Amino acid sequence: MDPEILNWKNLWKEEKSGPLDITKLIADLNKIEKRGRTERIALLIALPMTLILLLFLLPVLSNTYYLTAVSLIGLGMIMILIQIYKSRFGAIKNEAELSNQKYIVKLIDKLKKQMLITSRYMWFYTLLLILGINIGYVAILEHSGLSLFSRIMIHSVLSAAMFAFMYFSILKRKKKNNQRILPLIAFLDNLKRS
Partner 1 sequence: MGQNKEQYFKQVYKDSKDQIYRLCLGFMGNKPDADDLFQEVLMKVWNNLEGFRKESNIKTWIYRITTNTALLTLNRKTKLQQRETNHPQHLPHYEKDSDNSHNNQLEISKLYKAIATLKEIDRIIIGLLLEDCSYEEIATITGLTASNVGVRINRIKKSLNKKLK
Which residues sit at the interface with partner 1, rule CB under 8 A?
2, 4-5, 8-9, 11-18, 20, 22, 25-26, 29-30, 32-33, 91-97, 99-104, 107, 183-184, 187, 191, 194
First to last CA, the chain: 28
Instruction: Answer yes or no: are the C-beta atoms of 40 and 81 closer than 8 Å.
Output: no
CB of 134 to partner 1, least distance (A): 42
Nearer to partner 1, 32 or 148 (CB): 32
Q: Which amino acid is at 5?
A: I
Q: What is the CA radius of gyration of the chain?
A: 26
Nearer to partner 1, 95 or 147 (CB): 95
DSSP state of 121: I
CB of 113 to partner 1, least distance (A): 17
Instruction: Answer yes or no: are the C-beta atoms of 118 and 174 closer than 8 Å.
Output: yes
Nearer to partner 1, 30 or 169 (CB): 30
- Give the residue from 117, 111, 133 showing the smallest Cα distance to 173: 117
Nearer to partner 1, 55 or 96 (CB): 96
CB of 108 to partner 1, least distance (A): 12
CB of 114 to partner 1, least distance (A): 14
Burial tier of 13 (Cβ tally within 10 Å: 0-12, 13-18, 19+):
exposed
CB of 2 to partner 1, least distance (A): 8
Nearer to partner 1, 86 or 192 (CB): 192
CA–CA distance, 68 with 57 (Å, rounded to integer): 11
